[in-house]
Structure 1
Amino acid sequence: MQTDFLNEARRQAEICNACRYCEGYCSVFPALHRERAFSDGDLTQLANLCHNCRGCYYACQYTAPHEFDLNLPKALAEVRQDSWKEHAWPRGLAHLFDRNGVVIAAGLVLALSVIFALAQALRPESGEGFYAYMSHGLMVAIFAPAFVVPLLALAVSLRSYWRTVGGGKIRMGDIWEAAKSAGQMRNLKGGHGDGCNFEDEDRFTHARRHLHQAVLYGFLLCFASTSSGTILHYVLGLEAPYGLFSLPKLLGVPGGILLTLGCVGLAWIKTKADPNLGAPNAWGGEMAFVLLLGSVGFTGLILYSATGTSAVNWLLPLHLGTVLTFFLLTPFSKMAHGFYRLAALVKEAAVTRSAERS
């Protein structure tokens, strides 16, 4: 990890630890105030607890032009971004995506869509729905490893992260507490529950929190839709296509809508926010991830609405290319931040529990 980022974050954390004005703003500050000195692992943990709401920056009396020149959201964002790249496996791919995220994502979507379009020449002699264009076996052969291998890469990355931050034995209660915090987006509520200042210094809003929740629950609904379809196919012997009132569609359609709208909203407010309060060099990679994730939901909805028309010939390859790109880039894009942040919340829950007992 870059020493410059860690040293600057350490300098600012020490000043914040002496000041303590922002003590109730989010879970970063109770964790920060527990320490007397900050190791590299401590700073990595604090960075991944930070949700970059920026409320502390706008409340701080030591920002520029003060000689302390504090900008804790930026300092932690740079450590956070660097931690994802440092622990990513294979490591070099994360650095590549961070610098050229939009180009890589767009290029992969285009290339894979063309491959899927060409694969339609191998379409089965019979089949219903999308399986009339591409066989079920071919889809499984492509997507099963594309789903499993990135998960294994993330597992290796998280193991490395957990060692760095000094994580101990994981308890179910800590996982549950972390899941509740993530689901409610507690750290985006602001110090007084008025929301955060991500878009504007003087504007407290819950917009970013609600958009994050839309993306989170939209993604989970889409995942549940795919999982339910898998169970119907392999366990109950009920093969696709499924009707509108089937479980895969009842979960997938609202999930796709939430995912699309949430990503559009996050991309919009990201263009309005001050890039100097985050990690400026990672802006392109972050935006690429948001647009890619939103495209997964949008192309899925459009494909479903076009069922039974000739448009499926090109919409199906486009959607499959987008989904496959998302899977392949998951360990190296900002999608990884969800896993790291949950791990940080689990560790914080464990430390809090231990402190309450002692």
Structure 2
Amino acid sequence: MDAPQDRRQELRRQLTLCRACGYCDGYCDVFPAAGRAQVLANEDLTQLASLCHNCRGCYYSCQYAPPHAFGVNLPAILAEVRSDSWDGMIWLRRPMRLFQTRGLLVALVLGLGIAAILSLGQPHPQAGGSGLYRDMSHAMMVTVFVPAFLAPIALVLGGIRRYLRSVDAGPVRLRHIRTALIRGMRLDNLSGGHGQGCNFERQDRFSDLRRKLHWATVAGFLLCFAATMAGAIMHYAMHLPAPYGLASPPKFLGATGGVLLSFGAAGLGLLKLRADRGLGDARVWGGELAFILLLLLLPTSGFALWAASGSRLAPWFLGLHLGSVLTFFLLLPYSKMVHGAFRLSALIVEAQRQQGSRR
């Protein structure tokens, strides 16, 4: 299956068998949503692929999975169609395809290049600076990072708009967003349908570990982002520039978030290395792993910078940390980070259709 249309046709074939069987209907949103569709059009396949969280429970429960002649491997074909659809949602597709196939190399070259430019491009120490601002001016940080943050966010928002149009979504109401956020935060589609977890890492046995690691990763990332916002408020609104003490909001939130993010990303990386690659999209496996490693580099480089503060190594660790942060945001629309945006969009559409079916 070399073409996206071939993969969509294979997904139709497998879902037709699934709809006739009905054994997995309580596992996640994919199966009842597939059952509601009278005809599995392309927009239905895009929606179903994004609803799937690759828990793999349906595969290990399926009587028609290989080596059966029907060859049903729904997690893999959903992952392949999902990659195809996400590829078409974001502008500038070439960077996405390059990161998917050469993710580690792209992240390494871009991250080290940016780190070298940031470290060598500024005189050390900065006149009148204190703390980290001795190694890089505040104006330099703002000039570089604000556009690098806003541009990828704009690309992702554009991708969400195209996704909603591609699946023929209706008007998005606040109740749809609220329902999707609640279900997304609970990670219902990693619960196995009964709250006992999924089969990603333990195959035919349920485990809730993957869901807990996702929670730790998201909570850590949000706390680190909150630390950045707290630092901006203290700097601009309260006229309290860095450095800050350990008990201050930026340091406390950043340290707590860094620990959670390190634990979550490391755990997800180990699970991915142990999991069966044949139940996902093998084409993008390297890019997905590179994204996890890049996510892990954010807190570890931050802790290394903290440990090196005041030493001659501080400017280099600052360049490494800021380079990893900048690389993360520049690659955000082209890495698996977009799965959060598209899966939340899929949950919004699912909430529309479920609530609409009740009226």
TM-score (norm 1): 0.97
Alignment of 1:96-175 (within 5 A): 96-121=98-123, 123-175=125-177
1:200 to 191, 199, 202: 202
Report the counterpart of residue 262 of structure 2 in structure 1: 260
Shift of 1:305: 2.9
- More divergent stretch after superposition (289-298 vs 88-97): 88-97
Shift of 1:137: 0.3
Alignment of 1:1-358 (within 5 A): 2-121=4-123, 123-356=125-358, 358=359
Asked whether the 8 Å contact 1:14–1:37 carries over to 2, the reply is no
Asked whether the 8 Å contact 2:265–2:293 carries over to 1, the reply is yes
For 1:191, the aligned partner's letter is: G
Structure 1 residues 205-261: Cα deviation after superposition (integer angstroms, max 9, x where no partner): 111110111111111111111111111112222211111111112211111111111
Shift of 1:83: 1.2
Aligned-partner SS, 1:121? coil
Asked whether the 8 Å contact 1:123–1:135 carries over to 2, the reply is no
Aligned-partner SS, 1:120? coil
Structure 1 residues 280-339: Cα deviation after superposition (integer angstroms, max 9, x where no partner): 111000000000011012111221233223331211000011000001000001011111
For 2:84, the aligned partner's letter is: D
Give unpaired runs (5+ residues) of structure 1.
none
**Counterparts of 1:344 and 1:202, CA distance in 2:** 27
Asked whether the 8 Å contact 1:257–1:301 carries over to 2, the reply is no
Asked whether the 8 Å contact 1:197–1:205 carries over to 2, the reply is yes
The number of residue pairs the alignment matches comes to 357
**Counterparts of 2:281 and 2:21, CA distance in 1:** 24
Asked whether the 8 Å contact 1:293–1:326 carries over to 2, the reply is yes
Asked whether the 8 Å contact 2:124–2:134 carries over to 1, the reply is no
Aligned-partner SS, 2:151? helix
Shift of 1:200: 2.7
| CA spacing shift, 1:274–1:137, aligned 2, 3 Å | same
**Counterparts of 1:63 and 1:353, CA distance in 2:** 33
Structure 1 residues 34-70: Cα deviation after superposition (integer angstroms, max 9, x where no partner): 1121111111111111100000000001111222110
**Counterparts of 2:23 and 2:38, CA distance in 1:** 17
Give unpaired runs (5+ residues) of structure 2.
none
**Counterparts of 1:288 and 1:313, CA distance in 2:** 25
Aligned-partner SS, 1:225? helix
Aligned-partner SS, 1:241? coil
TM-score (norm 2): 0.97
**Counterparts of 2:327 and 2:67, CA distance in 1:** 44
- More divergent stretch after superposition (176-185 vs 54-63): 176-185
For 1:85, the aligned partner's letter is: D
**Counterparts of 1:297 and 1:178, CA distance in 2:** 29
**Counterparts of 1:5 and 1:293, CA distance in 2:** 30
Aligned-partner SS, 2:352? helix
- More divergent stretch after superposition (58-67 vs 273-282): 58-67
Asked whether the 8 Å contact 1:296–1:323 carries over to 2, the reply is yes
For 2:129, the aligned partner's letter is: G
**Counterparts of 1:39 and 1:122, CA distance in 2:** 60
Shift of 1:193: 2.0
Shift of 1:191: 2.6
- More divergent stretch after superposition (136-145 vs 11-20): 11-20
Aligned-partner SS, 2:123? helix
Shift of 1:123: 4.9
For 1:287, the aligned partner's letter is: L
Structure 1 residues 57-96: Cα deviation after superposition (integer angstroms, max 9, x where no partner): 0000111122211000001000111111111111222111
Aligned-partner SS, 1:352? helix
For 1:36, the aligned partner's letter is: Q
**Counterparts of 1:348 and 1:305, CA distance in 2:** 46
Asked whether the 8 Å contact 1:25–1:190 carries over to 2, the reply is yes
**Counterparts of 2:87 and 2:125, CA distance in 1:** 40
Shift of 1:341: 0.7
